[in-house]
Structure 1
């Protein structure tokens, strides 16, 4: 990158000296917010904990913005207002953005706007959902124009009066892209973007996995690359479909490609009913669980609906409820210190308020990998308000055992719906087949709203054949547990500062130490070795930008994952050598039900 490009980066140790000097020149000498200091530098009580993003051109530093994440447990605003006066500071998803400062002779340029945009992207990449800031009262119109809104609190600092402002990250991002997307796209080529997140958000606003397919080639012209790329960023099965599935697809592929399938997937519905011992009239099928989520939620929910999601949770649920439908969404926090498990008493108290139209529980949870016992969930549902519907996502339940399914309850209780994907457990991700279980009237309503021929003929053939071979898949699921345990042990042995947590399913998580490299940096370095992992940071601020999800692959590919992580940590380790290093641990969870 040439020296004429505007560089955006995370502050270095050398940058901090300049930040202190610029802060003094602006806030002590220019604005009179602070008393002048003989050192000519103005330090901050959060220095060393918060994050500074810096704009520079060549050797000239232009400006900076400060970010304080929620996991620090304190904000600059705490100096002015109590948590009772400003309750939003007690929430777990609020990032403070402050002291956006630009050298005087650069203030007429795009530097300040790009720093604001970079701050927004940094917060979104760490799972932030809201920002809070202090804005000078004389610039209030400017802040309103970008989507920030006053909360009704004014604070004074020296000679300066500030309004306390807040904004929703997704709304701020949407407004920025709608109003300034073309300008940002032009500026992209003029910016040396050295931050660890993408310059622009995904067009659909949803954080999916699957970046590995871009390496294979989404135009399908370089499919040979599938043998070179380790796709551990998505939770596709490491094993092939059952022999009967492959035979069904290979018998007459030309016929399967050109022939319309049964319009209502009648044979597939019948096979699911037999395999799961469920009445056929309690079932509805879809082209993957996402199809069912969009269709069902679009029917049941409105912008006035209130929804409770666990946090962290599969990102599709927040996308559909918040961004597509516009529901009022609350989060039920899962805590690392609790092993990411659902506390049934705490959840019961929250749901018992009667506020919620829908509660979503992914069980086993993706991305935490924890399983809530079926008996606990049955008790929760039994005592919950009648008006509250429960959506139980059992995409990975096969790794635990069929006795833990709530499908039988869903077939009779109008408040409960169970959704099950056939993609991950049956090695059919490319086929797109899933089903849900609900009491007959609810299931019939969704079947009426399902387009004919929703599931392709190859997918129906494959799904039916898969359900007819439980022995093959049962063996593969047991083998997955052994592969996962070995992978966890090998990854935990790479670095004593890394924490590895097993799941009950076909993945594990790897968490880097505080003060070290980010999850995004580890993911980026592993891609240099054609190994793709999933950065969980955008899903929740609870991951603090430090956690990566790793899908279990076969023995050879798992070895490549370990080698890539080793190489990446060797490169990134100098970034974190000065930070304290906790002992490495591979954290197991309860084994599968057999």
Structure 2
């Protein structure tokens, strides 16, 4: 793009210029630090920070520094204690630091573009909060961007800073609402080389995967499905049961033009029979998302307080935070604990009595861990009476039907179990799901269910699927074997990869720090028509380094392993460190 302004992650070659520019600005120009003979400013975070650089051709224009929460320390720690600034303890705050532009380029678009690039990078790593120090004389610019002072002032040398913060989703919305036209104009003029899309999705949530866009959402090139491995979505690798296929093939013209049973009565009866549940405890929907939106929309308001696991299926944060606007807290699962729920810790958090709803996906997506039913029953029994529990059992078949809490949900009005038939029964394209609740709760949701909520083909398919448990039990056992083989093949690619199996139809692969990012691996694999899911936007816990891979059949899994091998071979030699080597200097400083 010639002399277009380039936005990129800093390379090793950028480091001396960054240190030298910092010295010129913060020592010589602003007097924040004393000049030093080397003419360079460094600090103890340089080795771990991420730097984004703006350049025009060979000329570097400016940079911004980002300190991610997984480092466990921030530049602000030098000035304020965690008691004075408790938001630094929340685990999802990214510190934006040292936004610096060459003096003769300060009238250009470099500074706002670097701020925007930092916001997009943070959002792509699951960041939910930004914290920064802004020079008081530039406070108007930061307020215009959506940052707000927290009431803390910091003095460093001759410079005074205000501590600022902002919610990532609100900052993103403000950027698109107020500056969307300008950003769209700049989009075509900027050479964007970051491993995150320039613009966010309109609703801020990545529903499903990106693989269908490769097929074509206008359905004119569906023959491409034979060339693409869609491992970014958790659809079943196997076909539905023979009875399902026969039902779908039985006079499809009639099924297409005929209205289904109004309340899906036959489907409800078959679910009740198969699950040994009273039919009055059931409500059906066109997939679990239909049920989530409908139920949460009835129960929750912007004043409601919700507790989500972190990491967890992204649709829950989307509905509660972005659609309804609830006050949402996270219960953090930790990699070092095997991503498992600590029952005592969760019980203590819920026992505070401040939550209207607790959401537990079990087995969890994306961690793939299963919490034993007995532990959840004990947690619920000890929880305050005002707290409702939503248990998502979309993948429970892989753990075993005895682990379901559906029986508890049928009698305890605090508990609702949601079960999708999509993933376990190979019905994702048909959209069929149900929930189990105490009869009065279920009846209320049925009143808010429109007529014909599930199509006739989907109703017939669901009934046929539930009548063939042996077929699916065999497919689920085969899935475990395929997953184990895929895990072994991926682990064999590089000893630095961390492969974590789930109990369900997927696994995760974490790249080493200092290697390619998850986004880079995903992008490179797409060149081989293999689609994986970058988990980075779901949670800072993944540090931008973890991908989720759905289990496919033997041939598909072989293509996944081959694509990952080729991608790593391509990325590793070309990759250069994004962070600067740590060289602590006492005169270091921080500014936005």
**TM-score interval, smaller chain:** over 0.9
For the pair 1:380 / 2:371, whether they are aligned, the reply is: no
Q: For structure 2, which runs of at least 5 residues remain unmatched after alignment?
A: 579-592
Structure 1 residue 575, shift from structure 2 partner: 5.4
User: Contact 1:517/1:575 (CA < 8 Å) preserved in 2?
Assistant: no
Structure 1 residue 578, shift from structure 2 partner: 8.5
Q: Secondary structure at the match of 1:247?
A: helix
Give CA deviations for 1:247-266 in whole Å, capped at 9, x if unaligned. Answer: 00101000011111111111
Structure 1 residue 396, shift from structure 2 partner: 0.1
Which position in structure 2 is the counterpart of 1:496? 495
- Normalised by the length of structure 1, the TM-score is 0.96
User: Contact 2:133/2:164 (CA < 8 Å) preserved in 1?
Assistant: yes
Q: Secondary structure at the match of 2:238?
A: coil
User: Contact 1:516/1:575 (CA < 8 Å) preserved in 2?
Assistant: no
**Which runs of structure 1 show a deviation greater than 6 angstroms over 4 or more consecutive aligned residues?**
576-579
Which position in structure 1 is the counterpart of 2:77? 78
Q: Aligned partners of 1:9 and 1:246: how far apart in 2?
A: 50
Which position in structure 2 is the counterpart of 1:412? 411
Which position in structure 2 is the counterpart of 1:257? 256
Moved more, 179-188 or 362-371: 179-188
Does the C-alpha gap of structure 1 residues 191 and 578 become closer, same or farther in structure 2, counting only changes over 3 Å? closer
Which position in structure 2 is the counterpart of 1:326? 325
Structure 1 residue 208, shift from structure 2 partner: 2.5
1:168-179 counterparts in 2 under 5 A?
A: 168-179=167-178
Structure 1 residue 209, shift from structure 2 partner: 3.0
Structure 1 residue 45, shift from structure 2 partner: 1.7
Q: Secondary structure at the match of 1:390?
A: strand
Which position in structure 1 is the counterpart of 2:349? 350
Q: Aligned partners of 2:107 and 2:346: how far apart in 1?
A: 51
Structure 1 residue 20, shift from structure 2 partner: 0.6
Which position in structure 1 is the counterpart of 2:514? 515
Q: Secondary structure at the match of 2:54?
A: strand
Q: Aligned partners of 1:424 and 1:102: how far apart in 2?
A: 50
Moved more, 103-112 or 523-532: 103-112
Which position in structure 2 is the counterpart of 1:217? 216
Q: Aligned partners of 1:140 and 1:370: how far apart in 2?
A: 45
Structure 1 residue 3, shift from structure 2 partner: 1.9
Q: Secondary structure at the match of 1:161?
A: strand
For the pair 1:304 / 2:303, whether they are aligned, the reply is: yes
Which position in structure 1 is the counterpart of 2:447? 448
Q: Aligned partners of 1:456 and 1:180: how far apart in 2?
A: 42
Structure 1 residue 44, shift from structure 2 partner: 2.0
Which position in structure 2 is the counterpart of 1:573? 572
Q: Secondary structure at the match of 1:451?
A: coil
Q: Secondary structure at the match of 1:92?
A: coil
Which position in structure 1 is the counterpart of 2:394? 395
Q: Which has the higher contact order (CA 8 A, sep 6+)?
A: 2
Q: For structure 1, which runs of at least 5 residues remain unmatched after alignment?
A: 580-594
Q: Aligned partners of 2:16 and 2:94: how far apart in 1?
A: 24
Which position in structure 1 is the counterpart of 2:587? none
What root-mean-square deviation, in Å, do the aligned CA atoms of Structure 1 and Structure 2 show? 1.0
User: Contact 2:286/2:432 (CA < 8 Å) preserved in 1?
Assistant: yes
Structure 1 residue 207, shift from structure 2 partner: 2.3
Q: Aligned partners of 2:226 and 2:206: how far apart in 1?
A: 25
User: Contact 1:260/1:457 (CA < 8 Å) preserved in 2?
Assistant: yes
Q: Aligned partners of 1:453 and 1:180: how far apart in 2?
A: 42
Q: Secondary structure at the match of 1:371?
A: coil
Which position in structure 1 is the counterpart of 2:535? 536
Q: Secondary structure at the match of 1:460?
A: helix
Which position in structure 2 is the counterpart of 1:587? none
Q: Aligned partners of 1:288 and 1:61: how far apart in 2?
A: 50
